[in-house]
Each structure stands twice: as structure tokens, then as C-alpha cells.
């Protein structure tokens, strides 16, 4: 077996374990390539039956319109159920308070919306597209990752995970996050997208966009990011390496028009994909801190 | 396709090491010299090293990801690391080496094809060297490579290296050690890690990375077909009204359309009608693949059942087992207490009936007369389950031979076992 066959087989095995072990599992769908690959794997795992998981999108209200268009088309194509958790609603109902200033982001607010959505629909397992190669705290996280009733991750007391035996037992009110593509790298994801001919949002390919430069990276010039007077808007040929909320998605100057171009670019690049993510730069252990509180 | 290698093989290996033997530095070196570390990661490590007052860039900070680990300068948990060369893709299960983290080493070793054992050239073979080798052997790792590190601190001496090889062979005599190779390295300076050392001219073997790229690993494809049913795929649609697919990951062997198979526990037989991966129909499938199998006959089969090759060599079925276990939990393992037993896709109640002997992890001596097991203990025990399990010895098959124990109240994973 090639590495891609082996990774696919492992991920499908994990997704089937989720369907077998949980009452009400869901896929956390961001519209990024990783959650798209997870959804594709889930489709394969249960074909010709329908996807046994709804897609849950935590919407910050600051999405690229291409992401939403792609999401809706995919839901239609798969005949899947879509559930949207709205950060705007969390703000309006006073569950969270919006950050202000130039670097304001709704990234951290998503945690509350996510946990509220999990509680509202009583999801007992949320499948995510996180990978261990993305970030140092994620490198230590289990595939079946336990969350207590506050939605918290306890990195110091994780359940040992051996062979391919996954323990999804839990008490009422607790839940699991499950990461079927934990063992994939960014390159594996791109190679798999190429091999399986998976359609992606157009944002991943080079396009012309109004941008501005801040803290060493290009950001989209959209109303949801407040610009400083000296931050000039220019048109650039860019693409996204990862897709998140507009406020924390760095854009890469690129000439990649096809998946092959992207693979070649990924192979040559010297910066990690999360290097363009403002949310990770807030402190040395930004991801661990957010994950402990229930973040993706 | 340029720069894209779609058909690489995957090698999973584990490393165990204690505080000062340079394990994190070695992994940092493998990642750094194979260009798997990116500029922003290196910058972050440089910044973190400086703020801790380290003079050199501390490559260990690349792998020690949790706050507590960075604060204390130690590895606590298993970390998974990834890198690839044009020849292979690698997954490293990086584990702490101290005796109090035995459970983490066992966890890391459970999915590994190969183990790297590190020895500090100044100190030679120590108790922990043999302990790590013992755990690798217990978990059925088929290949060990011993890296003698810090060769720069012993003037790259061939005599020191040869003495360590001889000592290792002597001190591991009592273990059922698989094929072992020895490589003299300096992780700090990069000697024989990725690039051949200019300081160790007397060594003619491969540097570590070249060794890892080429080492052959035994697989289990040769045996008879085994698949535990994970899930029954039953579409609710007119088009597929009669479709009943038995989904699972093939634990051993090969299955072809038209093959006669036997279903366990029922003992009924049928013929393979179709094999699917998503929409794709396959003529055959082999160990490691996740498939969906349809059968010619309408038989009651559910999660926990097995599909196996219909011949004389079928797995055993039983309720009483002898196994080697490692205990993971601060609350001790008690005899006659009921635990949840997870075995492949089965879940059942079980209780331990006897502790035949504990093994001193440091000396591997057998200790009889224990009445309970503590965190990190390794022991041979007998287990009785509430119903029948389909099983084989762990040596024969890692899927049908492995078990995990779950506490029925806390639901924590409290132990792991390998059927003898």
C-alpha cells in the first residue's frame, strides 16, 4: 500500500468507529481543505448509504463568500444536513463580547458558539480536520480526544491510545473531539486532493484580490478588518494556504492555478501553513491555551 | 508529477529516551537536516530558546509542545512527528524514557514498525537501555536500531562503540530481541544522522536516515484473511434497497470476490459477492485496507463479528485468556473487579482472575505473589470475559491479539493487554 492508501484506510476506520460508538456525532465543517477532505472520507466510508453525520459550521460572520458558496453547494450535492452556529448571534445575545481595535478577531469567540451548538444539539462526538503536524500542542493530542462537561481539554491527563483501539466511553454531558486525519501532513492532504480529484473553494487557487500588508503578511481588504490609515490597499495575485475567518487568514503571493502547482509550491515553501495565521501568534502556547478552553 | 510522490511507503517508528540522552535533539536533527522544519518554526524555537537563556538553539523545543513540558524541559507525553524524504514518509512516536512514563512508551510502541534506542556513548548500556528494548520486544516491534549518541564526547572512538555493542548483546540476551543494527552518531553535531560523518571514518554502514529509508519491515499480508466487522452499511434508498455491506479494516491476508468465507462467532459460511472502497468496486483487497464487503447470502452479521478465510486455520474462540498487560492508571488493577474489555470491534465485560507474575521493568525478573498492579506495572495475568471473543496470540496478529481495558466508572483507559 502507498502512504496515501494507508492514511485513507486509517481515517475511514476512525470515521466508522465514530458512527458505531456514538449516538449523535457531527462533522465540524469550516470550508477549509482539511474539513473538505474529512467530509470526502466520510462519504467514502458509508457509501452507498448517506453521510451519517450532519455538517456543523461555526460561522463568525466574517467568511469569504466563496467559502459559503462552496459549503452550500457541497451540502446540496451530498444531500447532507447543515447546522450553522452563529457567532453574531452569540454576540447579540450577550454570550460573548466582541474584541475591538485593529487586530480584533472573532476567532476566540467561536469557542463559546461551538460549545453552545454542541450542547443545543446534544452532539456527543465532533469530528474535526485538525492534523498533528499543524501545531505543537496538536502533535500531542489523541485521535479520540475527551472533553469534560465544560468542553475543556486536559492535556496532562489524556487517555492512552494504543493500536487502533479507540475508547469513546464518557459520562453524560461530556463529549469527544475526533480527528480522523491526525496523521496526515499538509502535503498528504494536497496529494490526496489531487489523487481523488476533490473540488475545492476557488480561494485556494491564485486570484486577484484587494489586499493590505500587516505584520509580515498580506490580508484581505474587507470591511471586517479595521485598517490603519497608513495601510494601503493594493491588488495582488494571491491564494489561501489555509482558510479560516477573513480576519486571521493570511494570503500567499502565488501563481498556483492547479493542484499540481500547489503541490510544487508546498514542496518548495519554507514557512508552515499556520505561519499565516494571526490567531497562533498571540503567544507561544496560543493553541494549547485555546484548546484547553474547548476550541477546535 | 514534480515534487509530489504519490506512491511512497510509510514507516512508523518510536523513540524512547531520558532527560539527557539527546532524543529530542536527534529528532530535531532529523527534521532539521531533512528540511522538514520550516522557517517560522525555527524562529519560534530560537525566540523560545533565547528567552530561556539557552545559548544554542534548543532543538528539543520543537518536539516538547505542551506548556508543562517546555517549563520543565522534559517530554511527558507521546508526540507524533512527521517527515518525508523522496523515498519514504515517516511517522515518529516520540516518547519520554523515564520509568514513570512506561505507559507512554508502551502507547508509542503499539503502532510502531521499528524502535530507535538511544545510548549515551559516555555512559554505555544502562538499565533504561534494556528496559526500552524490553518494551519494544513486548509490543512486538520487529526491528530495533541502537544509536550510540554523543560520539563527539568520546573522541569518536571505535573501541567505545564496539564495547557498547558487545555489552548490549550480552545484557539483552534474555530478551527475545529482533534484528538489531548499531549506528554511531552525534545528534548535536549531525554526525551520521542525515549526513555521513566525516569524524567517524571507521564506520562503513548507513547514516540513520539512509537506514530508515531502506530498512525492510515484515508485514502480515501472508496470513489468512481476517476482518472484524465495524459497521453495517445499509442505505435507505430504492436504488440500493438490498445492499448490506460489512465494513471493516482487513487485519490480515487478502480477500477476493468469489472467496468462501466463514463468519465468527456463528460459524456460518458464505461467498464474497462484492468488495467496495467508496464507489469503487475492487476485485480483491489486502491487509490494511478499509473496505465494505457484500456477501451472497443473507446472514445476520453485526459489529463485533469476524469474517475469516474458510479453511482449517481459523482464529480461536474463547472466554479465558492468558495475557501480558501494562497498567496505566493510578488506581490499581484489582483481581475480580469488572472492567470493560475492548478487543478489535468488540466490547465486553471482563475480570482478571489471577496475576501469574509481575515483571520488574528494570531487571525483567519475574516476581510472583502480587495481588494487585500499580501504575506502569507489567505482568502476566489471566482474564475471563462475560462472552466469547475471537482471538489469536499477539505474536501471530496484532489486531486479534490486543486488548484495552476501560474502567466502568471513570471510563478512563486503564490498561492494555497482549494475548500470549
Stretch B390-395: mean pLDDT:
95
- Is residue A72 scored above 60 in pLDDT? yes
Stretch B118-132: mean pLDDT:
91
| B79-107 residue pLDDT tens | 888 888 888 899 999 888 888 888 888 99
**ipTM, 2 dp:** 0.91
- Is residue B400 scored above 90 in pLDDT? yes
pLDDT confidence band for B167 (50 / 70 / 90): very high
| B254-303 residue pLDDT tens | 999 999 999 998 999 999 999 999 999 999 999 999 999 999 999 999 99
- Is residue B2 scored above 60 in pLDDT? no
Q: What is the DSSP string of B74-98?
A: S--S-EEEEEE-SSEEEEEEEEE-S
Stretch B328-347: mean pLDDT:
95
Q: Is B77 on the interface with A (CB under 8 A)?
A: yes
Contact A12 B290 (CB under 8 A): yes
- Is residue B130 scored above 50 in pLDDT? yes
Q: Which residue of B has its CA nearest to A11?
A: B290
The cell for A113 is 458558539
Stretch A268-293: mean pLDDT:
67
Stretch A99-115: mean pLDDT:
85
Residue A77: is it exposed, middle or buried by C-beta count within 10 angstroms (0-12/13-18/19+)?
exposed
**Residue, of B99 and A49, whose pLDDT is higher:** A49
Query: Can you give the pLDDT at residue A156?
Result: 80
Give the nearest partner residue to B398 out of A48, A163, A182, using CB atoms: A163
Stretch A277-286: mean pLDDT:
62
Closest by CA position to B24, among listed B73, B72, B89, B66: B73
- Is residue B335 scored above 90 in pLDDT? yes
Helix (H), strand (E) counts: chain B? 8, 25
pLDDT confidence band for B74 (50 / 70 / 90): low
Query: Can you give the pLDDT at residue B366?
Result: 94
Q: DSSP strand E in B296-334: where?
A: 306-309, 316-327, 333-334
Q: Which residues of chain B make contact with A43, given a CB cutoff of 8 A?
A: 278
When scoring B14, B65, B255 by the number of chain A Cβ atoms within 10 A, the one with the most, hence best to mutate, is B65
| A207-261 residue pLDDT tens | 999 999 988 889 999 888 888 989 899 999 999 988 888 888 889 899 999 999 9
Instruction: Residue A205: count other Cβ atoms within 10 Å of its Cβ.
Output: 16
Stretch B176-181: mean pLDDT:
86
Query: Can you give the pLDDT at residue A104?
Result: 82
Q: Which residue of A has its CA nearest to B65?
A: A136
Query: Can you give the pLDDT at residue A271?
Result: 65
Stretch B158-182: mean pLDDT:
92
Contact B65 A137 (CB under 8 A): yes
Cβ B6 vs Cβ B106: under 8 Å: no
- Look at A243-252, B51-60, B411-420 and tell me which has the smallest mean pLDDT: B51-60
Q: Rounded mean pLDDT of chain B?
A: 89
| A136-148 residue pLDDT tens | 788 889 999 999 9
Q: Is B76 on the interface with A (CB under 8 A)?
A: yes
Query: Å from B292 to nearest chain A CA?
Result: 8
Stretch A119-137: mean pLDDT:
91
- Look at A79-93, B4-18, B255-269, B314-328 and tell me which has the smallest mean pLDDT: B4-18
Q: Rounded mean pLDDT of chain A?
A: 89
Q: Compute CA distances B160 → A179, B116, B123, B127, B167, whole Å.
A: 46, 19, 10, 18, 11
| Most distant CA atoms of chain B, gap in Å | 76
Amino acid at each position: 500500500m502507498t502512504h496515501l492508501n494507508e492514511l485513507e484506510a486509517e481515517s475511514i476506520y476512525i470515521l466508522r468507529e465514530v458512527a458505531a460508538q456514538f449516538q449523535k456525532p457531527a462533522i465540524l465543517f469550516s470550508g477549509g481543505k482539511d474539513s473538505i477532505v474529512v467530509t470526502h472520507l466520510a462519504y467514502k466510508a458509508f457509501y452507498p448509504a448517506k453521510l451519517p453525520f450532519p455538517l456543523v459550521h461555526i460561522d463568525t460572520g466574517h467568511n469569504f463568500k466563496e467559502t459559503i458558496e462552496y459549503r452550500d453547494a457541497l451540502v446540496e450535492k451530498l444531500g447532507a444536513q447543515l447546522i450553522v452556529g452563529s457567532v453574531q448571534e452569540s454576540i447579540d445575545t450577550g454570550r460573548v463580547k466582541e474584541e475591538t481595535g485593529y487586530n480584533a478577531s472573532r476567532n476566540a469567540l467561536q469557542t463559546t458558539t461551538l460549545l453552545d451548538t454542541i450542547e443545543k444539539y446534544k452532539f456527543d462526538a465532533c469530528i474535526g480536520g485538525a492534523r498533528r503536524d499543524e501545531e505543537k500542542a496538536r502533535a500531542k493530542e489523541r485521535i479520540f480526544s475527551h472533553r469534560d462537561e465544560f468542553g475543556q481539554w486536559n492535556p496532562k491527563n489524556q487517555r492512552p491510545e494504543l493500536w487502533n483501539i479507540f475508547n469513546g466511553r464518557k459520562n453524560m454531558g461530556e463529549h469527544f473531539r475526533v480527528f480522523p486525519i491526525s496523521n496526515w501532513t499538509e502535503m498528504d492532504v494536497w496529494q490526496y486532493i489531487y489523487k481523488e480529484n476533490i473540488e475545492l473553494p476557488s480561494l485556494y487557487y491564485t486570484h486577484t484580490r484587494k489586499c493590505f500588508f500587516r505584520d509580515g503578511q498580506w490580508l484581505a481588504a474587507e470591511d471586517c478588518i479595521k485598517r490603519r490609515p497608513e495601510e494601503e490597499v493594493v491588488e495582488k495575485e494571491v491564494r489561501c494556504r489555509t482558510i479560516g475567518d477573513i480576519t486571521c487568514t493570511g494570503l500567499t503571493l502565488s501563481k498556483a492555478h492547479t493542484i499540481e502547482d500547489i503541490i510544487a509550491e508546498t514542496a518548495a515553501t519554507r514557512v508552515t501553513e499556520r505561519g499565516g495565521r494571526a490567531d497562533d501568534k498571540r503567544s507561544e502556547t496560543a493553541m494549547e491555551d485555546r484548546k484547553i478552553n474547548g476550541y477546535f | 508529477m514534480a515534487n509530489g510522490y504519490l506512491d511512497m511507503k510509510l514507516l512508523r517508528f518510536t523513540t524512547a529516551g531520558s532527560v539527557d540522552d539527546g532524543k529530542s535533539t536527534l529528532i530535531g536533527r532529523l527534521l532539521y537536516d531533512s528540511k522538514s522544519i520550516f522557517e517560522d518554526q525555527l524562529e519560534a524555537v530560537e525566540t523560545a530558546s533565547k528567552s530561556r537563556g539557552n545559548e544554542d538553539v534548543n532543538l528539543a523545543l520543537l518536539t516538547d509542545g505542551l506548556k508543562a513540558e517546555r517549563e520543565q524541559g522534559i517530554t511527558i507525553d507521546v508526540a507524533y512527528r512527521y517527515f518525508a524524504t523522496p523515498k519514504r514518509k515517516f511517522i515518529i512516536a516520540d516518547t519520554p524514557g523515564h520509568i514513570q512514563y512506561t505507559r507512554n512508551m508502551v502507547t508509542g510502541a503499539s503502532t510502531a514498525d521499528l524502535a530507535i534506542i538511544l545510548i549515551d556513548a559516555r555512559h554505555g548500556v544502562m538499565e533504561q537501555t534494556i528496559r526500552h528494548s524490553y518494551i519494544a520486544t513486548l509490543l512486538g516491534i520487529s526491528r530495533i536500531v541502537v544509536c550510540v549518541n554523543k560520539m563527539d564526547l568520546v573522541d569518536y572512538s571505535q573501541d567505545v562503540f564496539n564495547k557498547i555493542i558487545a555489552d548490549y548483546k550480552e545484557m539483552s540476551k534474555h530478551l527475545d530481541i529482533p534484528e538489531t543494527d548499531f549506528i554511531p552518531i552525534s545528534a548535536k553535531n549531525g554526525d551520521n544522522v542525515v549526513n555521513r560523518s566525516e569524524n567517524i571514518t571507521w564506520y562503513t554502514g548507513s547514516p540513520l536516515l539512509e537506514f530508515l529509508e531502506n530498512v525492510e519491515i515484515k508485514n502480515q499480508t501472508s496470513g489468512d484473511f481476517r476482518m472484524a466487522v465495524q459497521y453495517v452499511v445499509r442505505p435507505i434508498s430504492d436504488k440500493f434497497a438490498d445492499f448490506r455491506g460489512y465494513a471493516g479494516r482487513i487485519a490480515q491476508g487478502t480477500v477476493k470476490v468469489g472467496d468462501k468465507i466463514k463468519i465468527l462467532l456463528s460459524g456460518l459460511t458464505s461467498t464474497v459477492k462484492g468488495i467496495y472502497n467508496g464507489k469503487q468496486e475492487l476485485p480483491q483487497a489486502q491487509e490494511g485496507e478499509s473496505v465494505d464487503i457484500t456477501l451472497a447470502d443473507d446472514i445476520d452479521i453485526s459489529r463485533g463479528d469476524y469474517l475469516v478465510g474458510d479453511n482449517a486455520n481459523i482464529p480461536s474462540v474463547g472466554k479465558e485468556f492468558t495475557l501480558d498487560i501494562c497498567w496505566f492508571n493510578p488506581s490499581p488493577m484489582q483481581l475480580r473487579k469488572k472492567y470493560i474489555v475492548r478487543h478489535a470491534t468488540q466490547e465486553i465485560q471482563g475480570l482478571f482472575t489471577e496475576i501469574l507474575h509481575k515483571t520488574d521493568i528494570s531487571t525483567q525478573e519475574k516476581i510472583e505473589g502480587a495481588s494487585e498492579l500499580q501504575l506502569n506495572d507489567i505482568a502476566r495475568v489471566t482474564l475471563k470475559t462475560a462472552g466469547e471473543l475471537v482471538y489469536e496470540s499477539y505474536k501471530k496478529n496484532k489486531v486479534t491479539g490486543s486488548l484495552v481495558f476501560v474502567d466502568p466508572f471513570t471510563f478512563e483507559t486503564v490498561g492494555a493487554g497482549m494475548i500470549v
